[in-house]
Structure 1
Amino acid sequence: MFDRLPRLTCAVLLKQADRNLSGWLAWHLALGIEHIAIMDSGAFDDARQIVQSLRQDWPLSWHPVEAEPNQTPEEHRLEMTRQAISHLHHVTQAMPQEVVDEENGETTPVDDWVIILDADEYLAPSRELTSLLYQAKDETTAFALHWRIYGDAGLLTPPPGHVVANHTWHAPPVFADHRFVRLIARLDCLPAPAKLADPHMLGLSPEQILRPNGRPFIPGDESLHPELWEGGCIQHYICALAHNEEELPPPMRAYYNRNEQMTAPQTRNLQTMRQLANQLRESALRAGLSRLQKLVEPQLEEAQLKHQEDETDLAIRSHVQHDTFHYDRIRSSVRSDLLLNPQFSTRYETGQTVLLRFPEGRLLEGDPPNHHEPLIGFRLESTPHLLTLYGQDRSPFTLGDAPCPFGMASLSITPSTQQQFVHLPHETGHGSTPLEIIPTNAVPAFLYTPLPPIDEPDGLSVHGLLTWLAGHPDLQPYDLARALLLLSPASAQHLHNLAPILAEFLPSQPKPDFLP
């Protein structure tokens, strides 16, 4: 329908706290989806905090769905789908119903489409969404996109980085479950939520459904294998994102863990997603910093109480008068006590700027290299494992799936067996290549806040982090990203519970001993 402008909104059905929620949101917002509703039936705390932290800057909403006792999985799916459609109706009604062309002032009515996905399903059109939806005829009610089921790619534990980049091996087109489809449906063609009886085909007739290549949708058509994913598909990461055996029992994992065929993700889609992911991370860091600053207040109250207790325990009179001398006791303040705390009053130290060089001689740049300028690294002698990369012109960049908000990437690096060589984290895309450290006299592009000293055998405690925040009320979000990498494993887990929005910036858990 060329006389109407297609607009796609989406609902994602969550079953439990999903460690990939931020990456899922980044992928689908980068596609051009104009609103995402998170239908939450079990991850209330984490998902709610993440969405509420991001919704100020991004078109997101959170809707809890209380599961009725004794519901079967099919009944629960139907109820969540009904509520998702109802919620998307309310969302789209609050959005503009016409789009105004700023050049000529003409208005174009909006044609609302919706898709309902699980958190392990990723919409993957072969071209822009508007191009796909513009194929719709007047009588078209939906587009049917087939599953493409991905295995675990032989990875024993989920590696850092985006699931689309890490998992490229999938089952061949003839795999039976690839007949299953998800619909991009025209919203005004769907039945009333209370009357919906089928959560998969949404009560729509197959005769009015098209495939993403514009051809008619024929359920069960065995002749479609060569063109099954022509125009787009639903990439289903059932093995990569299953949390435990309860969610995906071993027999089901054995059935779905198929890795016979590889399809590399489109570079354009990955790059667009990574750029938007960094913008999401900026919102997340700002929200996380605000959240932690609120936790500082009880930390200061605790310090005040301890100070008062210490004052009471000191059996020293406030005034003493003798024949030869007298004194008045000067009582210290909480702030003066805190100034003696190394976390509260961190000291500046000289830093070093470096370049990173590959064995073949080229210098590390962002990807794809836009200006052919090398990234500059900044590190301190006290924390040589922590490296912050940035461009000299402070422009945004991406480095694989590593977080690069505010035009910088703070990374935990690993020394190589060769002196003056290091390995970057896996998610940068360069983890397997040793990079040589080349000292440079470049001036740091940012004035960094000094980092807090560690106060636990294996890292920084949450208490130390909050004390540091109390002493630096004007802290920048990118400085918080650097400090989070100092947390001990136990403190990182504790902070994840306090502020789930910061999960992506916490240090990765160490690999099991049996992994290389």
Structure 2
Amino acid sequence: MTTVACVLFVKNECTDIAGWIAWHLALGVDRLFIYEDHSTDGTWEVLEAAARVAPITLLRTDPATQPDFYWRQRDAFMDAARRARGVYDWLGFLDGDEYVYPRHFDRIGDFLAQFPDAWAVALNWRIHGNSGRVVRPREMAVETFLSHGTESLGDNVLVKSFVRPEHLGPNYTDPHRYDIPEERYVDARGARVQWTGATKAIDWRDAFVLHFVCRSMEQYIQRIRRRLNADLGDSTAYWDHFNRNDVEDREPLRLMPAVYPVLGRIYTAMLDAASIRLHAVARVMRDDPLLAAALLDRPDLRTPSIDGRSQTSVRTVVLRTHHDTLLCLGGNRIVRDATLDGLAGVVPVLGAIHASTPDLITVFAADRGPLHLPGDSRHLDEPLLRIVPASQPGRFFLRSTHAGRYLAATPGSNDSGVACDRGRADLWEEFRLEPIQSTVTLGLSAIPAPVNAQGATLLDLCAWAQTLQTPPRRGDFLRALANLSPIERERLDHLIPGLLLPFL
């Protein structure tokens, strides 16, 4: 089996780094060497969490020893080549806005196995535009920015390379072309590369590198702010040049079913890391009120709005659709069934509602296996939804707590049409929540109750965490986050950078 590693030199890619990791691991990359260049946006924290559940060798650069960004990248890449030598057959050199895509293979190792005599493979960029998006999307770049420019955009002649590390020479020129003899450098079709500097003729027929230069307008502005007067200027020229949306291509989306489970594991690790950090910060605050006041930006430490009543009951329900069918899990998909035993091999989808949060429901599979809710960008095994009363008594809409999208069961075949992706609610989004007696439930606990319609505060959240002997469990933590007001969510993101981005 052909083994493949990739190396990434990264700084301030908090919004997309989890998706980048998930994409390449789902593509069959065996090891990621990630060199983090002292980010300020939470990228390091996300990487630390991801490294707990993924094959990542995480290292940090040393700007004191090497102050030049360009040469720090060189040092990182060459160090990764040294580490990969004798361990992996191939090593790919990528940036955080680049996603390799072999068109006719599901695994990058199978693609590279076509070239037994090559020592390096060069793949052209395919630069994508913003696909009309202004605000940063919650979804991955690959599934959002589907439109790209044509071959008339000359920058697509640039390449990224996969090399055999044992044959890599000592010289470094740029992050595109490497020190490999020309007769051993091939393109995606196995032909010898005809070089013009670090570029070659554009060829997207077999493989290429999806290059998301601009992404959304919000992300582009953030990028300009970070790099202003370094390598970018206060101008729309860069945007106008690269933001090409001439052709839409949905073909790479075929790999997303393999990506989502990996992304879900990373997001779960991020949630757990945030829970641990909140618990640690809260306990420090308990012992140092002045620090608490400084961190929470509060002139006073008033009594938090934790509901002290005894609320320990959890109600378990089934979800009955407007079509009078029940949601069940069949294989890896949510399906609809008229009865709980009407189809062989299905598992009921249940909901847990805790008395302290009667407007929130945690959805889970009766066998406690993973339940992926299509359209929910959090990709959690047990997603949280908000219960919204419908106009008809006893019927409810179920809305995602982070993106405001509604769960829908649309007409059609039994195994399709269930997704949490609707912008508004109508009949197909209506559900009845029918209590059942079940031996399977979730261990949910009481959480802070908001004192008003604006929601709970960060102070409430920290005070609640102080009462716990261990970090909050996932289900409880998600419910507590859902109760925070919008402005308090922003403040929490500053207190715990990066880790909670998918959930707030």
What range is the shorter-chain TM-score in?
0.7 to 0.9
Deviation at 1:235, TM superposition (A): 0.8
Q: What residue number does 1:55 align with?
A: 51
Aligned-partner Cα distance in 2 for 1:272–1:174: 33
Q: Any unmatched runs of 5+ in structure 2?
A: 293-302, 336-344, 407-418
After superposition, where does 1:45-124 map in structure 2 within 5 Å?
46-66=42-62, 76-77=69-70, 79-92=71-84, 97=86, 110-124=87-101
After superposition, where does 1:110-149 map in structure 2 within 5 Å?
110-126=87-103, 127=105, 128-138=107-117, 140-149=118-127
Q: What residue number does 2:490 align with?
A: 493
> Match for 1:476 among 462, 473, 479?
473
Aligned residues: 447
Q: What residue number does 1:325 align with?
A: none
After superposition, where does 1:168-187 map in structure 2 within 5 Å?
168-187=146-165
Q: Does 1:213 align with 2:189?
A: yes
Q: What residue number does 1:100 align with?
A: none
Q: Does 1:430 align with 2:421?
A: yes
CA separation of 1:230/1:415 partners in 2, compared to 1, >3 Å: closer, same or farther?
farther
Helix, strand or coil: the match of 1:408?
A: coil
Deviation at 1:217, TM superposition (A): 2.7
Aligned-partner Cα distance in 1 for 2:244–2:192: 28
Q: What residue number does 1:288 align with?
A: 274
Q: What residue number does 1:389 align with?
A: 363
The aligned amino acid for 1:76 is F
Q: Deviations over 1:19-44 (max 9, x none)?
A: 11112111122222222233233415
Helix, strand or coil: the match of 2:43?
A: helix
Q: Does 1:298 align with 2:262?
A: no
CA separation of 1:387/1:213 partners in 2, compared to 1, >3 Å: closer, same or farther?
farther
Deviation at 1:358, TM superposition (A): 6.5
Contact 1:345 1:468 in 2 (8 A): no
CA separation of 1:91/1:353 partners in 2, compared to 1, >3 Å: closer, same or farther?
farther
Aligned-partner Cα distance in 2 for 1:33–1:205: 25
Deviation at 1:490, TM superposition (A): 3.0
Helix, strand or coil: the match of 2:241?
A: helix
Q: Does 1:27 align with 2:1?
A: no
CA separation of 1:412/1:166 partners in 2, compared to 1, >3 Å: closer, same or farther?
farther
Deviation at 1:165, TM superposition (A): 1.4
Aligned-partner Cα distance in 2 for 1:441–1:293: 33
Helix, strand or coil: the match of 1:430?
A: strand
Contact 2:7 2:93 in 1 (8 A): yes
Aligned-partner Cα distance in 2 for 1:142–1:416: 60
Helix, strand or coil: the match of 1:490?
A: helix
Aligned-partner Cα distance in 2 for 1:476–1:197: 49
Contact 1:142 1:183 in 2 (8 A): yes
Aligned-partner Cα distance in 2 for 1:433–1:461: 28
After superposition, where does 1:267-278 map in structure 2 within 5 Å?
267-278=253-264
Aligned-partner Cα distance in 2 for 1:469–1:12: 36
The aligned amino acid for 1:403 is R
For normalisation by structure 1, the TM-score amounts to 0.75
Q: What residue number does 1:314 align with?
A: none
Q: What residue number does 2:321 align with?
A: 357
The aligned amino acid for 1:207 is E
For normalisation by structure 2, the TM-score amounts to 0.76
Q: Does 1:191 align with 2:169?
A: yes
The aligned amino acid for 2:454 is D
CA separation of 1:365/1:353 partners in 2, compared to 1, >3 Å: closer, same or farther?
same
After superposition, where does 1:389-408 map in structure 2 within 5 Å?
389-400=363-374, 401-405=376-380, 407-408=381-382
After superposition, where does 1:305-320 map in structure 2 within 5 Å?
none
Deviation at 1:182, TM superposition (A): 0.5
Deviation at 1:18, TM superposition (A): 2.6
Q: Does 1:237 align with 2:223?
A: no
Q: Deviations over 1:253-309 (max 9, x none)?
A: 122212221211445521111011112223223322222222232233247999xxx
Aligned-partner Cα distance in 1 for 2:73–2:291: 51
Aligned-partner Cα distance in 1 for 2:348–2:468: 31
Contact 2:138 2:502 in 1 (8 A): no
Task: Find the structure with the greater CA-based Rg.
Answer: 1
Contact 1:112 1:187 in 2 (8 A): yes
What is the root-mean-square deviation in Å for CA atoms of aligned residues? 3.8
CA separation of 1:255/1:392 partners in 2, compared to 1, >3 Å: closer, same or farther?
same
> Match for 1:451 among 447, 451, 455?
447
The aligned amino acid for 1:35 is R
Aligned-partner Cα distance in 2 for 1:411–1:163: 24
Which deviates more from structure 2 when the two are superposed, residues 164-173 or residues 472-481?
472-481
Q: What residue number does 1:329 align with?
A: none
Aligned-partner Cα distance in 1 for 2:491–2:187: 47
Q: Deviations over 1:351-377 (max 9, x none)?
A: 463526367978486864486556333
The aligned amino acid for 1:390 is F
CA separation of 1:172/1:445 partners in 2, compared to 1, >3 Å: closer, same or farther?
farther
